[in-house]
Structure 1
Amino acid sequence: MNRMIRMSLILFSIFIIAGCGEASQEKVTKDLEETLTELESYQTQATMDMFTGETTQNYQIDLAYQADNYYRVFMHNQEDEEGSQIILKNDEGVFVLTPALNKSFRFQSDWPSNASQPYLYHSLVSDVLNDEQAEFAVIDDYYVFTTETNYQQNQALPTQEVYFDQKTLTPYLVKIYDPDHNVVVEVTFEPFELGAEFEADYFEVDANLTSSLLSLPVSSMEEQANQADFSIRYPSVTLASELVDTSEFDLEDGRRVVLTYEGENDFTIVQEVKTTEMAAFRQPEWSMGSPAHIGANVGAMTDHSLSWSENGIDYYLASDSLTDDEMIQVAQSIAIEIEK
């Protein structure tokens, strides 16, 4: 009898140990949802690598969040410091700031909840919660979810793997795949500082734009303001259309180039550089569109146009026939294409 009792206790202990040691997808998903619901604030840094053809573009991202719904995303590339951008969300709306160009746009947008954002904690968890077919695995010290993405403006990135730290449930690594299961984007996070505290104006436009402007070297600002000459850049993706006209115009304060493409999809690309000196501060311009990523640059997307800035040059792409996804493809091919 005592032997039977001992065997029962051993089997019961094994059952308990096995049950505790194996995390279930349902349990982890529920814990992720609860963690996000209780989250007051965080601050972290991330590295985003974008593998485009034979090149790799590397970006550093400083991230900050404060409940409810305040975001600050500072994106910068060491090879193009003047092209650094800040995405802000506060009670007044969504803003995209390019301090070196003294540009700021204000959007009436539900960003970041309207689409997947590979560098935002809330977005990654939402992708897990919204995908009923999400796959789950435990790899080393991480819970790994494979989910569908929701890139409304880029359908060429359908799936992702998200690694969450088992102890903190914060993201550690994100891999985004193309339809052929090649890694196109990889985001690696440093440890999160949960419960971070911020200055009162940390998420305000004025504080971010003016402080960033003042931190730039004077030589860099003058270089941006005096780019009278620039090489015309052409897209490598033209979607069965051909360049039929190139028009160049001298402006009072710069130069403009208009490229016209015709074929299966007609579109126009405008490239413009200004030479006027920048004012100390300008109020944000209203944009009727939504923030859109062109690589790591953030532009404005409307129903028939896409605008953004890179290396001191303003770009504008317009088309009545291209989809949002196709406009992103053309724009990204300009961003990585050298002079023709």
Structure 2
Amino acid sequence: MNKKLVVLVLAVLTVLMLAACGEKSKEDVTKDLKSKVEDLKGYKADAKMTLQVGEDPQTYEVEVWHNDPNYYRVSLKNEAKDQSQMILRNEEGVFVLTPALNKSFRFQSDWPSNSSQAYLYESLVKDVLEDKNATFKETKDHYVFNTKTRYQNNQMLPTQEITFNKKDLTPVSVNVMDSDKNSLVKVEFSKMDVKAAFDKKDFDMKKNMTGAQLEIPVSGNVEEKELSVLYPTDGISGSELVDEQEVATKDGKRVVLTYDGEKSFTIIQEQTTSVPTMTVSTSLQGEVVDLGFTVGAMTDQSITWTHDGVDYMLASKSLTQDEMVTIARSVQGSMVK
């Protein structure tokens, strides 16, 4: 009888030990993610990014190429509006390409390491590693982390939920939220190739511009499009529109919006023009800033960006960078004062 009892106890202990071995702690998974990224030589990923900006959500197809250590190619396409942008990083610097306008801008920037990037695998893992207070849960097929973000405007997008596949630790989805836990940015990965091989030419600026233009030809009538003035839907409390000036230009018109109050700022909007032949990239001071619907350039006192055939500039001596990003993100949200 005692022998049977001993056998039964041993069997129960064995089952419990096996069950315990099947569950991993937050520290175990974090360590595995770190090793996975460190061992990666390169990858390709496809994803869908949905932005809750303005009244209607906007969806972008995202294609990511990364070749260790510092080569990147991120293609962002909004098929509904026939828009595309591409971010390139190679030995010459960081480029933002707008193929339909035949325009490219070059930055001397630390992108993408200087901020969270919801569509970059290694950036998501870095977010997990750097947030010692991140929460963790395990489901049947996934590991789920809730972490702080590292955005320049992390007051607007402070937290995110990152889901990884249990089987191979690749990303499944990212849900970036505001302070009220409302989802503002969602990225859903559909494909991940962690054994992708690349050539340096794959990250060449001119080659990628030409290739992108075969899909979306250079627009010859951008300047003919009527400028619809947009106003920020998320401003600064105590600041209001005090002046609106319209100036005729050779390509249409330029509108200057002046806001004053507790903090003052100016927003300039002007029809953009395509460049008929490829020129040397314009060098921009400042950092690449992800506005969600487009990519811009940010300095201490300004943000510039192009969206839907319009060039924008927001300038202020009194706004913080976080405040400028918040306002810039909301400019495309409404056509009502």
Structure 1, unaligned runs of 5 or more: none
- Distance (whole Å) between structure 2 residues aligned to residue 317 and residue 193 of structure 1: 39
Matching residue within 294, 298, 301 for 1:301 = 298
Contact 2:135 2:145 in 1 (8 A): yes
1:285 aligns with 2:286: no
Superposed counterparts of 1:197-276, under 5 Å: 197-217=197-217, 221-227=219-225, 229-239=226-236, 240-275=238-273
Taking only aligned residues, the RMSD between alpha carbons, in angstroms, comes to: 1.8
Structure 1 match to 2:320:
323
Per-residue deviation, 1:193: 1.1
Counting matched residue pairs gives 335
Structure 1 match to 2:307:
310
Contact 1:107 1:289 in 2 (8 A): yes
Secondary structure class of the residue paired with 2:313: strand
Superposed counterparts of 1:68-217, under 5 Å: 68-81=69-82, 83-217=83-217
* AA aligned opposite 1:3: K
> Percent identity over the alignment?
46
Secondary structure class of the residue paired with 2:201: coil
* AA aligned opposite 2:257: L
- Distance (whole Å) between structure 2 residues aligned to residue 315 and residue 96 of structure 1: 15
- Distance (whole Å) between structure 2 residues aligned to residue 76 and residue 166 of structure 1: 29
Structure 2 match to 1:49:
50
Secondary structure class of the residue paired with 1:236: coil
Secondary structure class of the residue paired with 2:57: strand
* AA aligned opposite 2:300: D
- Distance (whole Å) between structure 1 residues aligned to residue 134 and residue 313 of structure 2: 38
Question: 4+ residue runs of structure 1 moved beyond 4 angstroms?
Answer: none
Per-residue deviation, 1:183: 1.5
Q: TM-score of the superposition, structure 2-length normalised?
A: 0.94
- Distance (whole Å) between structure 2 residues aligned to residue 294 and residue 284 of structure 1: 21
Secondary structure class of the residue paired with 2:52: strand
Per-residue deviation, 1:323: 1.1
- Distance (whole Å) between structure 1 residues aligned to residue 281 and residue 261 of structure 2: 37
**Residues 122-144 of structure 1: CA deviation (Å, up to 9, x unaligned):** 11000110111111101230000
* AA aligned opposite 1:282: T
- Distance (whole Å) between structure 2 residues aligned to residue 134 and residue 215 of structure 1: 41
Secondary structure class of the residue paired with 1:6: helix
- Distance (whole Å) between structure 2 residues aligned to residue 162 and residue 226 of structure 1: 43
Contact 1:105 1:284 in 2 (8 A): yes
- Distance (whole Å) between structure 2 residues aligned to residue 211 and residue 93 of structure 1: 20
User: Residues 138 and 274 of structure 1: is their aligned pair in 2 closer, same or farther, counting only changes over 3 Å?
Assistant: closer
User: Residues 274 and 178 of structure 1: is their aligned pair in 2 closer, same or farther, counting only changes over 3 Å?
Assistant: closer
Q: After alignment, is 179-188 or 238-247 more displaced? A: 238-247
- Distance (whole Å) between structure 2 residues aligned to residue 323 and residue 253 of structure 1: 32
Contact 1:46 1:187 in 2 (8 A): yes
- Distance (whole Å) between structure 1 residues aligned to residue 300 and residue 209 of structure 2: 28
Secondary structure class of the residue paired with 1:292: strand
Structure 1 match to 2:15:
14
- Distance (whole Å) between structure 2 residues aligned to residue 224 and residue 317 of structure 1: 22
**Residues 54-80 of structure 1: CA deviation (Å, up to 9, x unaligned):** 421111111111111211110111122
User: Residues 154 and 134 of structure 1: is their aligned pair in 2 closer, same or farther, counting only changes over 3 Å?
Assistant: closer
Contact 1:231 1:339 in 2 (8 A): no
- Distance (whole Å) between structure 2 residues aligned to residue 289 and residue 154 of structure 1: 18
Q: After alignment, is 171-180 or 195-204 more displaced? A: 195-204
Structure 2, unaligned runs of 5 or more: none
Contact 2:241 2:259 in 1 (8 A): yes
User: Residues 274 and 182 of structure 1: is their aligned pair in 2 closer, same or farther, counting only changes over 3 Å?
Assistant: closer
**Residues 166-211 of structure 1: CA deviation (Å, up to 9, x unaligned):** 0110100111111111112111001311111234411111111122
User: Residues 158 and 27 of structure 1: is their aligned pair in 2 closer, same or farther, counting only changes over 3 Å?
Assistant: same
Contact 1:233 1:339 in 2 (8 A): yes
Secondary structure class of the residue paired with 1:160: strand
- Distance (whole Å) between structure 2 residues aligned to residue 225 and residue 55 of structure 1: 26
